[in-house]
Structures are given as structure tokens and as C-alpha cells.
Amino acid sequence: MSGRSEPVSTLKNVGPTIAKRLAAVGITTQAELERVGPAGAFQLISRLYPNETISVCYYLYSLEGALHGLHWDSIGEERKSCLREQAGLD
């Protein structure tokens, strides 16, 4: 990664839909995503789109992976459990 001001759209795991939804909640850079955190971003997106199913693996885990340059499925089960707890899913 080139830096904290990198657009979220260039981060690993962040495709056009996730980037668009992040922008809709005011998150457009890596630094903003770091500040809010994956669980916070997941909650903001879930609140903005209450009638849609927001997939945990494609959002919560993907955002964690984006911050660390990892594929979402490479995140360990312990960290996934922690993220679900932070997001209020456990």
C-alpha cells in the first residue's frame, strides 16, 4: 500500500460496490477506514442499507483484510470472532 491517503477503491477486497457504499457513509480513504475500523464501517453501511443483507464476509472481513493487504478468508477465526463481536453480531 502506498499510504494512508490511498483511496479505498484501490485496497484489496474492495470492489466497486463496497467502495460506493463506503463513500456513501463518508469513508473514501484508507485513513478514514482505519479511523472508523472495519466493525464501525460495517455498522454504518448496515444502517444506511437496512433492507439489504450485508454479507459479513464481503464487508466486515473484507474491510479488515483491506487494511492489512489480506484476502478476507486469510483472517484467522479468532480475529473474525472479535470483529463479529465489535460489530454486534455475536
pTM, to two decimals: 0.89
What is the DSSP track for the chain? ---TTSBGGGSTT--HHHHHHHHHTT--BHHHHHHHHHHHHHHHHHHHSTTS---TIIIIIHHHHHHHT--GGGS-HHHHHHHHHHTT--
Residue 1 has pLDDT above 50, yes or no: no
List domains and CATH numbers for the chain: 8-86 (1.10.150.20)
- Give the tens place of pLDDT for each residue, 49-76: 999 888 888 799 999 999 999 999 999 9
